[in-house]
Amino acid sequence: MGAAPWNPKLDAYIAAGARSIPTVSAEVREALDLIGKRMKPAEDGQALQLLALRRYLRLGPKRVQAQWSWSADQAAVLVRQGAAKVLVDEAAKVQSTFARANPGYVLALSPLRSLERQVRLWNGNSSVQRAATDLRARFLEDVNDPDDYPNPPTGESIAVFNYTLRVSIVKPEPTSAAPGTSDHGQMRAVDFVVMRSSGALVAGTKSSSIASVWKQGGWEAKLMAATAGTQLVGPLQHPYEPWHWRLTRA
Amino acid sequence: MTRLELALLVAAVAAANIFSGCARHADASSAAPRPGAVSRDAGTDQGPTAPAPPDLASAVHTAVSWLSALRQHDRTTLLKQSSAPFVIRDESGKGPCSNVELTDLAKPDSLGCLADDEILRGVLKENPDPDVGPLSAKHLPNWTRKWKADVRPGLRPLGVVLLGHAASFDLVILVGGDGVHGVFKHAAADRN
């Protein structure tokens, strides 16, 4: 992914689209701002912002608000109560069962994932980068049309931009949640990784390890067996992540 | 698009029309025809030209009402709110409802493959207040561009995303002054 020149007109539409999302406009703008600030020289920040905006628009303001990552202050309080505490307790049961069934191996848990951390994962994810670059290239062609996309944007052209972005298909489907919306931001889900008791990683959270390590190594089935009888459901199906489990839907 | 957003958008569009109208009030072609009306080229008088698409507010209302009939499995209302020619396109290209072109809707089961799609109906039930909004007929969403010819003059394309637990759908609904003339659909695989 090469860093493409920043397009000011597309920038104006991304900013206008972010401002137009009711209720969560401030959160969305903070995330987009962080995406731009945390990008590495080889990353296309504008494309990554556009793809993230698409996701926020698809989810809609209610879901974005409900899923938005806890701040550090919120996390300090909320992680020890309610559903987050139940999740941690259930994950501890899985760890214990797994360790008994697989001597020499343990399960480690993913920690709460801050917005900052989600931005780094988003920017660094190769499927996100490929999808974002393709999406940006297509939208640049569209927004160059001054009839449909005047500059500065109007109420009507912003709506057209938002709905077109919302129903656009991206390929590949990103394997990372848009910053702020991860299940891990409110401890709604946990990622298990398999490690040797010595601390060496055996099965991690890279998509490339699913077939060769999780399936062929039998870790997918062993983790599934360890979750039996707990309140955890999984693994995540879209995209498939054998390590990603969440609480039973209430 | 919520009712409030729609009202604000309509007001903004109306304001924009007022201002642009002030700037070019001498241009007779700027007079907006009624939704679905057949306009005539005053300059050449070559006969009827394309009908004007419905205004955004009434198009959104029609699409939301049509989706409601689909959700409720109300075939009678669905047919009443649909008009021929009618197309159904599915991005997957699979199944009986993936590539349908109807020149009339006289039979009660004309839209049966849509009405009987239980997965779509289930997702519609999870989205009782779908957020339908405007698209550009010139710059359609990427996956629908192969069907651009279906967006005939006089039709207004609208977009809606329906996220569900078991499945999700992207829909582009083609609305004319006399009802819905087609739908493009894509079963999405959204993360989480």
Residue A4: predicted pLDDT: 73
Whole-angstrom CA distances from A25 to A48, A68, A101, A247 are 17, 12, 48, 29
A166/B141 Cα distance (integer angstroms): 9
- List residues of chain B with CB under 8 Å from any CB of chain A: 1-2, 5, 8-9, 12-13, 16, 56, 91, 131, 133-136, 138-143, 158-161, 163, 170-172, 186, 188-192
Omega within 30 of 0 (cis) for the link into B128: no
Q: What is the pLDDT of residues A25-51, one digit of tens each?
A: 999 999 999 999 998 877 899 999 999
- The ipTM, to two decimals, is 0.86
Q: Which of A166, A169, A177 sits opposite B192 (nearest CB)?
A: A177
Q: What is the pLDDT of residues A75-122, one digit of tens each?
A: 999 988 999 999 999 999 999 999 999 999 999 999 899 999 999 999
Backbone angles phi and psi of B187, in degrees to 5: -80, 115
The residue with tokens 């959104």 is: B60
By the CB < 8 Å criterion, does A173 face chain B?
yes
Segment holding A235, helix H or strand E? none
pLDDT band at B35 (very low <50, low <70, confident <90, very high): very low
Q: How many interface pairs between A and B have CB atoms less than 8 angstroms apart?
A: 89
Residue B94: predicted pLDDT: 87
By the CB < 8 Å criterion, does A159 face chain B?
yes
A136: left (phi over 0), alpha (psi -120 to 50) or beta: alpha
Residue B2: predicted pLDDT: 53
Q: What does the DSSP assignment read for B55-120? A: PHHHHHHHHHHHHHHHHTT-HHHHHHTEEEEEEEEETT--STTSEEEES---STTTTHHHHT-HHH
Cβ–Cβ of B191/A60 closer than 8 Å? no
pLDDT band at A173 (very low <50, low <70, confident <90, very high): confident
Answer whether residue B77 shows pLDDT above 50: yes
Q: What is the pLDDT of residues A3-14, one digit of tens each?
A: 678 899 999 999
Segment holding A52, helix H or strand E? helix A45-67
Answer whether residue B191 shows pLDDT above 90: no
- In terms of pLDDT, which residue wins out, B24 or B135? B135
- In terms of pLDDT, which residue wins out, B59 or A239? B59
Residue B37: predicted pLDDT: 41
Quick check: pTM over 0.80? yes
Coil, helix or strand at residue A64: helix
In this predicted structure, which of A114-118, A232-236, B186-190 has the lowest mean pLDDT?
B186-190
Answer whether residue B46 shows pLDDT above 60: no
Contact B125, B71 (CB under 8 A): yes
Q: What is the pLDDT of residues A124-168, one digit of tens each?
A: 999 999 999 999 999 999 999 999 999 999 999 999 999 999 999
End-to-end CA, chain B: 23
Answer whether residue B13 shows pLDDT above 90: no
Residue A132 CB neighbour total at 10 angstroms: 28
Cβ–Cβ of A145/B139 closer than 8 Å? yes
Residue A190: predicted pLDDT: 95
Residue B136 CB neighbour total at 10 angstroms: 19
Q: Which of B13, B142, B186 sits opposite A155 (nearest CB)?
A: B13
A73/A112 Cα distance (integer angstroms): 13
Contact B87, B182 (CB under 8 A): yes
Residue B164 CB neighbour total at 10 angstroms: 17
Contact A190, A110 (CB under 8 A): yes
Which two structure tokens, joined as six digits, stand for A220?
């997918």
Beta bridge partners of A232: A247
Which two structure tokens, joined as six digits, stand for A17?
């689209």
The mean pLDDT value of chain A amounts to: 94
What's the whole-number mean pLDDT along residues B104-117? 92
What's the whole-number mean pLDDT along residues A52-81? 94
Answer whether residue B7 shows pLDDT above 60: no
Cβ–Cβ of B142/A60 closer than 8 Å? no
Answer whether residue B10 shows pLDDT above 50: no
Q: Which of B13, B159, B192 sits opposite A164 (nearest CB)?
A: B159
Residue A249: predicted pLDDT: 63
